[in-house]
Structure 1
Amino acid sequence: MASGFRNSAGVDFDSLFDPYQQGTKPANTGHRTSDGVDLANRYAPIAFGTKAPDVGFRLSSGADVSTLWAAKGTAKYTLPFDGATYTAGETVPAQSQGSASLALRLKIDGTYDIVRSTSHNGSSTLATGTWNTGGGAVSNYQVLATVTDTGGGTGPGTITNDAATWVSLSTQRNVSVALGPYGPSSGSHDAIDTVRVQIRRASDGVVLTDSTCTFNVSVDGSV
């Protein structure tokens, strides 16, 4: 249902501003939809996008309400892992082999986790959160994951990525970087890769979240 508020050209606010998904809402505007809900609850805070042209509706301060919200198609969000670095390290014991990996899993319940695994210390969860920030059916969303070798290690490692092209999130998607197995006296190996994850609405292709983290995986076979 449209907001019922229009600019001077007759365009409804729902076509001018991105819908609210997350973040701190502004104070109430004093402008309410027919169900009594203030417009402050309806649109994406401007911190997530850019300003639209003035629409002719004012706040008590005299500022146009367009100063509060992100213009249609400009809101971009990040998931909590954005900017983080995750590590997995293994030291190869004498007369043995060792491997290590990091994996990001986007699950069909709308959550994600990042898991570290090493051959001698097992697996542990480093981070968890919600990727489905917009709610609704997971089939409404698609993901694209891009793994890039930073050049800071000995190589990119073994990359497994089942979201290397835009694919539906109605199926769990996994992205991992692994090293090994390596034996003793094999030297030191490390992979430092960035993992960029973009999630978009399937219906219109609008990217909703764009998040990048770093995977640092190492295996020390210098024993």
Structure 2
Amino acid sequence: MTNDCPIPPRRAVLAGLLLLGACGPTRLAPLAGPAKGRVILLRGLANMFSTGLNTMTAELRQANYDASVHNHVEGRRLVEETVAAVNAGTLPRPLVLIGHSFGADEVLRMGGMLGAATVPVDLVVTFDPTVVGTAPPGPKRVVNFYQERDPLSRRVEPAPGFDGVIENRLVEGESHLSIEKAQRLHVEVLTMIEGIRPAPAPPPVVTPLITAPPPPLARPARLPLPPRPPAGRVRAS
């Protein structure tokens, strides 16, 4: 099976990581062309342990996605910015949310908030969520990577009203602190995103041209009848 979404060169990824660490998400290197989609990534506890998401952000930007990584506490602000971009017509599709640990919890919440704002999320990817175990209505697809080294349940189940697809994928050999750093999972996520096809634009609404019926033909005026000749006289014989 060929890989349609190769990992960018290590040197480019490391350069992206240095930029992420030094400047934060507001000073990312520009993309090479028009963005192929919008990807929001959220780190977990203390905003410092989910370093695998820094790597993934650099990889996604190398693939020309408008990707940025944030603290999980910024979820509500990011939802507001996303809704504003939709209203302005500037949000590139697909829209993808990715999170680890507390960040995984928050991207599930964000998917629900965006769904309530009638902004569907094409894909939500969670790495080992902690306390949020349900997917609310809104996301079209949820892929949850989880591990079983601890007794906590890391699976994601549908909340009432959810009508998308949920996939729980058990990852062997990883812990809560290493799962988002697994390079093989980065390959899977990149391939999933590349496989999302934008929804076709709705066909233009053609309003049929309605013409008023022609006015009825005017009835010609009736011509006056010619005068009747006088009745002839009858002679008596």
TM range (shorter): under 0.3
Relative contact order, higher structure (CA 8 A, sep 6+): 1
TM-score, L = length of structure 1: 0.21
Q: Give the structure with higher Rg (CA).
A: 2
Structure number with higher helix proportion? 2
Structure number with higher strand proportion? 1
TM-score, L = length of structure 2: 0.20
